[in-house]
């Protein structure tokens, strides 16, 4: 597999009411062609801000500031996205990196037909005739499973169901055959059956096109269905990372365990980790992070004098399974007994 994206030591901060605060810290990951990486965490953990950073869609400085490197590995060589002028970033967006969001209605234009919107997406990046772009639009609608694609070109977004709208957004995102698709909670607003259909569709399209996917979700059920690798984020940091099957079968960070236990069908039989059923409390305010481990005030395994003093570094628990918890060894041992 070839590498398509490297994110190195990403840091993102905002300025609000004269105060600077950091919401993403030291996040590093890479994406290979054809693989899916999930970013998981509760609301406010920094998943969306990370993906907006990759897309170059954060507010301009001084409202936001981004540090580290985001490198797109393309046929034309490596492109450092943080150094790119907005005009070139605009050309890459949609073309090499595309994004779909939770609620297609906010991205689709209500006054234009879906055919016009797909044609526009193609013609804004490629010099092709209207007729050719329309033919490609029909092909794309077929690809994403829209029945009677020719007739559907003339419909408006509000005439379609939520699942169909998400398929349209996927068609638009794929129109230019991007190397990377960022999917930010694309199935959260859909009912369970439609959610499964959209996940199936994304998996099939990925197989056909070889694109890499960065999949943002708070739902471990979705992670189990779609991701090759998983990064769990908490308070703007990676707290656990590894192959999805490793993270799911052998979670070592109490935050990950708490998130997983919140998904009934994943309830981890045999974990024997006491009564960590749900996670009490909230993600901390980025402007007032607790001392020590950011998660310690909510953690059932917190050890006074250890977890509340200095922040834990991220450690390799074996085979690239990375964990940011000073007590991961005891947690692993507790599981084996
Ligand atoms: N434009 C902005 N200005 C100031 N703060 C922001 C801005 N966008 C996001 N934040 C803050 O950054 C932090 C991370 O937010 P982010 O949206 O990335 O979380 P998330 O994990 O994706 O959650 P969600 O699932 O709700 O989108 C939050 O504390 C949020 O309030």
Regarding the beta carbon of 25 and ligand 1, being less than 6 Å apart is answered no
Rounded to whole angstroms, how far apart are CA atoms 174 and 2? 20
Q: Is the domain of 188 the same as that of 133?
A: yes
- Confidence band, pLDDT 50/70/90 cuts, at residue 101: confident
Q: Residue 235 falls within a domain, yes or no?
A: no
User: Has residue 278 got a pLDDT over 70?
Assistant: no
User: Has residue 199 got a pLDDT over 70?
Assistant: yes
Q: Is the domain of 109 the same as that of 248?
A: no
Q: Is the domain of 17 the same as that of 158?
A: yes
User: Has residue 271 got a pLDDT over 50?
Assistant: no
Q: Residue 234 falls within a domain, yes or no?
A: no
Q: Is the domain of 37 the same as that of 107?
A: yes
Q: Residue 202 falls within a domain, yes or no?
A: yes
Q: Is the domain of 80 the same as that of 172?
A: yes
Q: Residue 112 falls within a domain, yes or no?
A: yes
pLDDT of residue 148: 94
Q: Residue 146 falls within a domain, yes or no?
A: yes
User: Has residue 95 got a pLDDT over 80?
Assistant: yes
pTM of the model: 0.92
pLDDT of residue 333: 86
Domain containing residue 38: CATH number: 3.40.50.300
Cβ neighbours, 10 Å, residue 192: 9
Q: Is the domain of 215 the same as that of 86?
A: yes
pLDDT of residue 103: 78
Cβ neighbours, 10 Å, residue 88: 13
Regarding the beta carbon of 53 and ligand 1, being less than 6 Å apart is answered no
- Average per-residue pLDDT in the chain? 91
Residue 53: phi, psi to the nearest 5? -60, -45
Q: Residue 99 falls within a domain, yes or no?
A: yes
Q: Is the domain of 282 the same as that of 162?
A: no
Domain residue limits at 64: 3-227
203 token code pair: 């998996």
Task: Count Cα neighbours of 234 within 13 Å in the Cβ-side half-sphere.
Answer: 30
Return contacts of 47-53, CB within 8 angstroms, 24+ apart.
Answer: 47/184, 47/216, 47/218, 47/233, 48/184, 48/216, 49/12, 49/23, 49/24, 49/236, 50/7, 50/10, 50/12, 50/24, 50/233, 51/99, 51/182, 51/184, 51/214, 51/216, 53/10, 53/12, 53/24
Give the residue from 150, 149, 140 showing the smallest Cα distance to 209.
Answer: 140
Q: Residue 237 falls within a domain, yes or no?
A: no
Of the three residues 166, 195, 227, the one that is the final residue of a domain is: 227
Regarding the beta carbon of 97 and ligand 1, being less than 6 Å apart is answered no
Residue pLDDT, tens place only, 143-191: 999 999 999 999 999 999 989 999 999 999 999 999 999 999 998 888 8
Q: Is the domain of 269 the same as that of 325?
A: yes
Give the residue from 225, 247, 236 showing the smallest Cα distance to 318.
Answer: 247
Residue pLDDT, tens place only, 132-141: 999 999 999 9
Q: Is the domain of 158 the same as that of 260?
A: no
Of the three residues 195, 227, 259, the one that is the final residue of a domain is: 227
Q: What percent of the chain has pLDDT over 90?
A: 75
Across 108-134, average pLDDT: 94
Rounded to whole angstroms, how far apart are CA atoms 10 and 126? 32
pLDDT of residue 265: 54
Q: Is the domain of 259 the same as that of 317?
A: yes
Distance 132 CA to ligand 1 centre (A): 40
Distance 113 CA to ligand 1 centre (A): 32
Task: Count Cα neighbours of 333 within 13 Å in the Cβ-side half-sphere.
Answer: 4
96 token code pair: 């090499």
Distance 223 CA to ligand 1 centre (A): 21
Residue pLDDT, tens place only, 40-69: 999 899 999 999 999 999 999 889 999 999
Q: What percent of the chain has pLDDT over 70?
A: 94
Of the three residues 196, 227, 258, the one that is the final residue of a domain is: 227
263 token code pair: 């998904």
Distance 91 CA to ligand 1 centre (A): 25
User: Has residue 217 got a pLDDT over 50?
Assistant: yes
Q: SS3 of 175, please?
A: coil
Regarding the beta carbon of 62 and ligand 1, being less than 6 Å apart is answered no
Q: In DSSP terms, which residues pair with 20 in a beta bridge?
A: 15
User: Has residue 272 got a pLDDT over 90?
Assistant: no
Q: Residue 232 falls within a domain, yes or no?
A: no
Q: Is the domain of 116 the same as that of 256?
A: no
Rounded to whole angstroms, how far apart are CA atoms 102 and 195? 11
User: Has residue 212 got a pLDDT over 80?
Assistant: yes
Q: Is the domain of 214 the same as that of 251?
A: no
Out of 49, 63, 183, 255, mutate this one to test ligand 1's pocket (max ligand atoms within 8 Å of CB): namely 49
Q: In what order do the strands lie in the sheet with 77-80?
A: 19-32, 3-16, 64-74, 77-80
User: Has residue 113 got a pLDDT over 70?
Assistant: yes
Distance 236 CA to ligand 1 centre (A): 9
Regarding the beta carbon of 47 and ligand 1, being less than 6 Å apart is answered yes
Given the CA of residue 46, which atom of ligand 1 is nearest to it? 18
pLDDT winner (highest mean) among 73-82, 99-108, 204-213: 204-213
Distance 130 CA to ligand 1 centre (A): 39
Report the number of distinct structural domains present in the chain. Answer: 2
User: Has residue 36 got a pLDDT over 80?
Assistant: yes
Residue pLDDT, tens place only, 219-249: 888 999 999 999 999 999 999 999 999 999 9
């Amino acid at each position: 597999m070839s590498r398509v994206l490297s994110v190195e030591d990403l840091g993102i901060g905002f300025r609000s009411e004269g105060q600077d605060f950091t919401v993403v810290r030291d996040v590093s990951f890479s994406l290979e062609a054809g693989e899916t990486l999930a970013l998981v965490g509760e609301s406010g953990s920094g998943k969306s801000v990370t993906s907006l950073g990759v897309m170059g869609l954060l507010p301009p400085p001084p409202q936001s500031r981004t540090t580290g490197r985001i490198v797109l590995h393309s046929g034309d060589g490596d492109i450092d996205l943080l150094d790119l002028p907005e005009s070139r970033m605009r050309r890459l967006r949609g073309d090499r990196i595309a994004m779909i969001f939770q609620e297609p209605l906010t991205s689709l234009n209500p006054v234009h037909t879906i055919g016009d919107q797909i044609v526009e997406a193609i013609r804004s990046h490629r010099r092709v005739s209207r007729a050719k772009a329309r033919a490609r639009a029909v092909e794309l609608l077929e690809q994403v499973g829209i029945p009677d694609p020719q007739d559907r070109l003339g419909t408006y977004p509000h005439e379609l169901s939520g699942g169909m709208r998400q398929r349209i957004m996927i068609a638009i995102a794929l129109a230019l055959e991007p190397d990377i698709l960022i999917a930010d909670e694309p199935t959260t607003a859909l009912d369970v059956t439609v959610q499964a259909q959209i996940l199936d569709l994304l998996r099939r399209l990925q197989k056909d096109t070889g694109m890499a996917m960065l999949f943002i979700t708070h739902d471990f059920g979705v992670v189990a269905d779609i991701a090759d690798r998983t990064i769990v984020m908490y308070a703007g940091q990676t707290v656990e990372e590894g192959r999805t099957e490793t993270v799911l079968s052998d979670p070592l960070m109490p935050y990950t365990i708490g998130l997983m236990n919140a998904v009934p069908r994943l309830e981890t039989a045999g974990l024997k980790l006491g009564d960590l059923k749900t996670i009490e409390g909230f993600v901390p305010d980025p402007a007032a992070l607790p001392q020590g481990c950011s998660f310690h005030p909510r953690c059932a395994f917190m050890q006074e004098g250890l977890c509340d003093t200095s922040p834990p570094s991220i450690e390799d628990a074996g085979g690239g399974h990375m964990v940011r918890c000073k007590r991961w060894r005891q947690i692993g041992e507790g599981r084996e007994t």
